[in-house]
Structure 1
Amino acid sequence: MKIIVTGASGFIGQNIMEHLAGSFQIESVSLRKSDWQHSFQGAFTVINLVGKAHNHKGVATKNDYFYANLELTKQIFQCFITSSATLMIHVSSLAALEEFESTIPLTEENSCAPDSWYGKSKRAAEIWLLDQPLPENKKLIILRPPMVHGPGDKGNLGLLYNLISKGIPYPLAAFNNLRSFISIDNFGFLIKQIISHQEIVPTGIYHITDDEAVSTNDLIEIIRAQTGKKGITLSLPKAFVKLVAKTGDLIPLPLNTNRLKKLTGTLLVSNKKIKSVLKIEKLPITAREGLVNTIKSFQKK
């Protein structure tokens, strides 16, 4: 059973390839090659991870995001339609729905309100894909993960680890929040389940997330427990922290408004739909276990 993965060079792609390698024939496809379309021949499943993620340096343009996240997705979908593959799994993002805050677990039925060009381009790709006619023998599954973490993660979790592991005081304890994440282990598990049981998974959008949400303060304690760094926790006034973050929007600082929202805002996601369809009661890795595994991977660097 041949499975092709587009955009496999990133940390998610590399880990997903590793998760699936023992069960399927996996082939990484690079769109930089002129003949990449030929790789779709004989494929059973297409996993699309091509896209441009958040650019914290602020140098990416609207066109950059829409080309990578929408136009390339169109090309991949057209190759899927004309290929032998019967299933396309398109990895979108929770940012297509909401990027910063929701105190009620978000479901697939919630109205979309993307904020950044990243989120808007991801949502545009979802809309385009769902508007395309599908032959009876083909299915399209769109997955919306929140922040994904695991070995090779270079996002906000890695930045937080670098801060705490060096014993630098954590200044944001005044913010109480809960946030949904997904470990790469649970991500890989769900991908494998969808491929193995695609006959019971209808075409559509599905949220994938760990079963439990975690507060940033709990995350700090997990990092400290794994690194042995006791550190200092500071409850700086929220108004002062927000002022510093706004300054970071103007000049290069470790903290800016978007990063503050992602570190301290409450953003909850429901995974009931995908678990119900796949008849899964619990995911194999708890949120805490997944975070511990990721922290351990940081320590090996």
Structure 2
Amino acid sequence: MRVLLTGASGFVGAAVQAHLQDDPRFALRSAYRQLPVSVSPRLQVCQVAGLESDTDWRVPLEGVEVVIHCAARVHVMNEREADPLAAFRRANVQGTLRLAEQAAQCGVRRFIYLSSIKVNGEETLPGRPYTADDQPVPLDPYGVSKREAEQALQALAAKTGMEVVIIRPVLVYGPGVKANFRSMMAWLNRGVPLPLGGITNKRSLVALDNLVDLIVTCIHHPAAANQVFLVSDDEDLSTSELLRRMAQALGRPAYLLPLQMWLLNGIAQLLGKKAMSQRLCGSLQVDIEKTKALLEWSPAISVDGALLKTAKNFLEHRV
């Protein structure tokens, strides 16, 4: 089966590529803005202009049966665009729709779109996890653009008959993870005391291996057609518990000070770090029962197993 992958240089896309290029069931073609220096002999690469409204995808799409679309303008902490929503729409909505329209014209059977849990919202109430069929309430420009892309793809599917599969992952972690997750590992590895021992929230996470496994399942599973799926490790953790288990994976003690959540939130607001406080103290849970039942799928790796792999990679590549 010929598969076209976009976003192969990204965190998730690179893992999808590594998996599929070694699977004899698939002939993988990866689209890059800048071609890599070296690739596997089993991988075909092609160069494209990027996620633009006028990008010509016809050559990369030739003979392709399934598209896995991981490329996107991603959520950034220090936004520099004067109009962030317009920038997100250009890439994530207009650029995605351009690819999907040409995919349908070229006879692609299935289009798998990597969306985001930000389509659902930013935070959940205790005992009220998001489900795949909830009314979306995106709150930031990235989430809005992802939702609009989903809607455009669903309309295209209804018009053309090309199957669309939408996957909304929660926070993804695994070997090579960056940003806050890597920072937390670095703090724990250095033995830095953290005032995060009293957090009683619940957050869903998804290991990179589990997300890739679900994406691969959606390539061929007949029940995936025209569905929306949420994905997680199916074990929700508080920030405090995550840090303790992360420290265990690193082989280090966790020095967590039991600061009350209200005090931590207050300090964060005084320091202008309200968004960071929300991510550390707020809850965001997802219900993946639909994903498990419809696809007969379950996470391939446990949280502790995934944390061990992540910690091993961190210790091997730390600077």
Report the TM-score, using the length of structure 2 for normalisation: 0.85
1:186 matched residue in structure 2: 210
2:42 matched residue in structure 1: none
Aligned match of 1:99 in 97, 122, 140? 122
Equivalences for residues 127-276 of structure 1 within 5 A: 127-134=151-158, 138-197=162-221, 199-249=222-272, 256-276=273-293
Q: Structure 1's 283 and 237: CA in aligned 2 closer, same or farther, altered over 3 A?
A: closer
Cα separation, 2, equivalents of 1:122 and 1:140: 14
Q: Structure 1's 239 and 178: CA in aligned 2 closer, same or farther, altered over 3 A?
A: closer
SS at match of 1:3: strand
RMSD over aligned CA atoms reads: 1.9
For this pair of structures, how many residues does the alignment match?
A: 293
SS at match of 1:176: coil
Cα separation, 1, equivalents of 2:274 and 2:146: 21
Cα separation, 1, equivalents of 2:244 and 2:307: 11
Contact 1:20 1:188 in 2 (8 A): no
Instruction: For residue 102 of structure 1, report the CA deviation from its aligned partner.
Output: 3.6
Cα separation, 1, equivalents of 2:78 and 2:65: 38
Runs of 5+ consecutive residues of structure 1 not aligned to the other structure: 250-255
2:98 matched residue in structure 1: 75
Contact 2:65 2:107 in 1 (8 A): yes
Runs of 5+ consecutive residues of structure 2 not aligned to the other structure: 33-47
Query: What are the Cα deviations for residues 1-52 of structure 1, in whole angstroms up to 9, with x where unaligned?
Result: 2111112211110011112222211111134266543100011110111212
Cα separation, 2, equivalents of 1:271 and 1:142: 14
1:50 matched residue in structure 2: 71
Contact 1:222 1:292 in 2 (8 A): no
Contact 1:50 1:68 in 2 (8 A): no
Q: Percent identity, aligned pairs only?
A: 27
Considering Cα pairs closer than 8 Å and 6+ residues apart, tell me whether 1 or 2 has the greater RCO.
1
Contact 2:5 2:31 in 1 (8 A): yes
Contact 1:150 1:183 in 2 (8 A): yes
Amino acid of the structure 1 residue aligned with 2:77: H
Q: Is 237-246 or 283-292 further displaced after alignment?
A: 237-246
Instruction: For residue 286 of structure 1, report the CA deviation from its aligned partner.
Output: 1.5
Contact 2:57 2:99 in 1 (8 A): no
Amino acid of the structure 1 residue aligned with 2:287: S
Equivalences for residues 30-45 of structure 1 within 5 A: 30=32, 31-32=48-49, 36-45=57-66
2:135 matched residue in structure 1: 111
1:28 matched residue in structure 2: 30
SS at match of 1:122: helix
Cα separation, 1, equivalents of 2:193 and 2:14: 33
SS at match of 2:285: strand
Report the TM-score, using the length of structure 1 for normalisation: 0.90
Q: Structure 1's 50 and 175: CA in aligned 2 closer, same or farther, altered over 3 A?
A: same
SS at match of 2:4: strand
1:253 matched residue in structure 2: none
